Amino acid sequence: MSDKKIEIEGSGKHCHVTRKTLETLFGEGFELEEKKMLSQPGQFATPHKITVVGPRRSFEVTILGPCRKADQVELSLTDATFLGISAPIRESGDLAGSPGCKLIGPKGEVEIDEGVIIAKRHIHITPEDAAKFGVKDKQIVTVKIGGDRALIFDEVVVRVSKDFATYMHVDYDELNAAALTQSNRTGEIV
Amino acid sequence: MSDKKIEIEGSGKHCHVTRKTLETLFGEGFELEEKKMLSQPGQFATPHKITVVGPRRSFEVTILGPCRKADQVELSLTDATFLGISAPIRESGDLAGSPGCKLIGPKGEVEIDEGVIIAKRHIHITPEDAAKFGVKDKQIVTVKIGGDRALIFDEVVVRVSKDFATYMHVDYDELNAAALTQSNRTGEIV
């Protein structure tokens, strides 16, 4: 492998909520608890779950913290099909025209008009690593995975920020399609 | 696209059973009903379901007919993880050393010693199409998929037989990872 190796993490279904949505679902003044820090600085998993209701079925998802400026439910295509939601493949934050859903918490519920997406494969990368790898913000790259289910992911978007740690993120469909296991969690930008 | 285009089908979790296993699970003299013919000549979906029991959880799978010489449970990696079975990625029929499981039917149950696999991506192809595409039996090829989640599947095994119809088969993890939808179900051997 070259020096363009990158560690890959799988994202399970989860959601981000606004302060307002959080208080509607969990009550006024509710604060998100940190259960586990994630690889991206400042981001954390919480012990709080809410129910996402689609036209066909529903399930619980974990809230990731901290609160954001928009509600966003991130699913795999398998998850979206299960719920019966036709969610587009989008970058985080690019929510215009995406479908909504109902969110139910212990103290209330919210109908969001948009925000359900399937995350586009992406690389979070520091400016230092981006320079080293020769990639730029918003660039689309391809990433090669080895092993039993070797494949090359095309359409991987690069996002450069000093607030990031360098990791590639895929969902569980992609993780399993590539058989990315604990002992095979590295890709190479090609 | 070149003329090496191939139609892709997704295989959900399913099992194949021997005559003996079928009779243990469903009773002596039981015959498989044809619910729907599949793309491969002579193969059919049945309305019969059995429960596959793993160390962690269980679920129902559909039996595909006709009966075969060995019991075989084909899962996606997502399915196998759900059941708690560490199944290898194998070609159909290559079962030596694969894990077993318990199968439960309406009339009885069977503990199989081996047979639980995750199917290796493969192409069924007629001798005529193989000649046209320039591929041989057992050859490993790569297949390019376009669209929103473009990727290149490596490690795709080619199987040539006059008894086949020409189709590529992937599981639902792979189907969803590539966003292979009704309007985007074609790959290209590259």
Q: Which of B66-70, B154-158, B163-167, B179-183 is least confident?
A: B179-183
- pTM for the structure as a whole: 0.94
Interchain CB distance below 8 Å, B149 and A172 = no
Q: What tokens does B151 get?
A: 């990727």
Residues in A closer than 8 angstroms to B81, CB to CB, are 176
The mean per-residue pLDDT over the stretch A20-32 comes to 98
pLDDT tens digits for range A154-167: 999 999 999 999 99
pLDDT tens sequence across B15-58? 999 999 999 999 999 999 999 999 999 999 999 999 999 999 99
Residue type, A115: G
Residues in chain B within 8 Å Cβ distance of A184: none
A positions 53-72 inside 8 Å of B (CB): none
Kindly list the residues from chain A whose CB atom is less than 8 angstroms away from the CB atom of residue B173: 78, 172-173, 176-177
Query: How far is B39 from B61, CA to CA, in rounded Å?
Result: 19
As a whole-number percent, the residues of chain B with pLDDT over 70 amount to 99
Question: Are A154 and B152 an interchain contact pair (Cβ–Cβ within 8 Å)?
Answer: yes
What is the structure's pLDDT at A3? 80
pLDDT of residue B2: 55
Q: Is B102 left (phi over 0), alpha (psi -120 to 50) or beta?
A: beta
Q: Is the pLDDT of residue A2 over 60?
A: no
- Report the C-alpha gap between B64 and B62 in whole angstroms: 6
Mean pLDDT across A1-14: 88
CB A7 within 8 A of CB A168: yes
pLDDT in tens, A29-44: 999 999 999 999 999 9
Give percent above pLDDT 90 in chain B. Answer: 96
Phi-psi region of A27 (alpha: psi -120 to 50; beta: other; left: phi over 0): left
**pLDDT above 60: residue B183:** yes
Residue B1 has pLDDT above 80, yes or no: no
For residue B13, is pLDDT > 60? yes
* B172 vs A contacts (CB less than 8 Å): 78, 173
* Among the listed residues B60, B59, B63, B61, the one whose alpha carbon sits nearest the alpha carbon of residue B31: B63
Q: How far apart are CA B178 and CA A151, in angstroms?
A: 11
Q: Could you tell me the two tokens for A47?
A: 């012990």
- Say yes or no to pLDDT of A1 above 60: no
Average pLDDT, chain A: 96
What is the tens place of the pLDDT at every residue in A64-94? 999 999 999 999 999 999 999 999 999 999 9
Supply the mean pLDDT for chain B: 96
- CA-CA distances (angstroms) from residue B50 to A136, B53, B83, B115? 52, 10, 14, 15
pLDDT of residue B3: 80
Rounded Cα distance, B185 and B180, in Å: 5
Question: Residue B136: how many CB atoms within 10 A of its CB?
Answer: 12
Could you tell me if B178 lies within 8 Å of chain A, comparing CB atoms?
yes
Band of pLDDT at residue B174, cut at 50, 70 and 90: very high
Average pLDDT of the segment spanning A46-52: 98
> Mutate which of B176, B182, B190 to disrupt the A interface (most A C-beta within 10 Å)?
B176
The verdict on a CB contact (< 8 Å) between A89 and B155 is no
Per-residue pLDDT of B107-151, as tens digits, reads 999 999 999 999 999 999 999 999 999 999 999 999 999 999 999
Q: Which residues of B touch A174 (CB under 8 A)?
A: 177
The confidence score (pLDDT) of residue B15 equals 98
| β-strands B116-119, B72-75 pairing | parallel
Q: Write down the pLDDT at residue A182.
A: 85
Q: Tokens 């590259």 label which residue?
A: B190
- List all residues 6 or more positions away from A154 whose beta carbon is below 8 Å from its beta carbon: A140, A142, B150, B151, B152
Torsion of CA B23, B29, B35, B40, to 10 degrees: 70
* The pLDDT of residue A72: 98
- The string of DSSP codes covering B81-133 is HHHT----EE-TT--TT---EEEE-SS-EEEESS-EEEEPPEEEE-HHHHHHH
- pLDDT value, residue A74: 98
Strand pairing partners for B151? A153, B145
Residues 6+ apart with CB under 8 A from B23: B29, B30
What is the complex's ipTM, to 2 decimals?
0.92
**pLDDT at B5 exceeding the cut of 90:** yes
Say whether A151 and B155 touch across the interface (CB within 8 A). Answer: yes
**Contact in structure between A137 and A158 (CB atoms under 8 Å):** yes
Residues 6+ apart with CB under 8 A from B166: B6, B7, B123, B124, B125, B126, B129
